[in-house]
Amino acid sequence: MIGRLLRPLRSGTAKLAGNDPRVAAPVTIEVSSPEFARSTTMPARYRGIDGMSPPLRWSTVPSNARDLVLIVEDVDVPLRAPLVHTILYEISPTKSGIDAGDIPKVQPGNPERIAGATLGKGSVGRGWLPVTPIPGHGPHRYVFQLFALDEKLPLHRKTLSKNDLLATMAGHVIARGVTIGLAEA
């Protein structure tokens, strides 16, 4: 019932990380998942409260990239801005993807570094926020955005949020890529 009432309310794509003018760059990196095609429904094991982070693959990262950043956002949540499901930064540009479940679910005490990268602060904490759209709200788009930087991110003493990262990445994004997974409850 609540989902149907909220159905017209969507955060939209305007405040998506990749649409921030500070990180404007050509979309030349190929991002995909071996588990779902772009803009199709993610398999059940990646949805719901027990859902794990899906596997991702990327290619065509520029040879002069020094750092990669992954930001995953739900653009259909009924809020003013997309819900940030996870942030992973300081990813080696030689890495070509992440495996299913590589990003631990959001919980107190999550490690700062995993799989050779740093966990950023999403909307509800550090880690993977499972894909759980509001029942009856309709399909949600989960946007997996990868950014290639021309320099390594400077060292920080705190875990970076989306806004922190966008400010730090400003003027240093040389390429980006995106794929979308769908889910509906």
pLDDT digits (tens, 9 = 90+) for 30-51: 999 999 999 999 999 999 999 9
Look at residue 115 in the predicted model and tell me its pLDDT.
Answer: 77
The pLDDT of residue 164 is: 94
pLDDT at site 60: 98
Residue 20 has pLDDT above 70, yes or no: yes
Contact 29, 159 (CB under 8 A): no
Average pLDDT estimate for 49-60: 97
How do residues 145-177 score in pLDDT, each as one tens digit? 999 999 999 877 788 999 999 999 999 999 999
Q: What is the set of domains in the chain, with CATH numbers?
A: 2-183 (3.90.280.10)
What pTM does this model have? 0.95
Any long-range contacts for 33-37 (C-beta under 8 Å, 24+ apart)? 33/57, 33/144, 33/179, 33/181, 35/100, 36/181
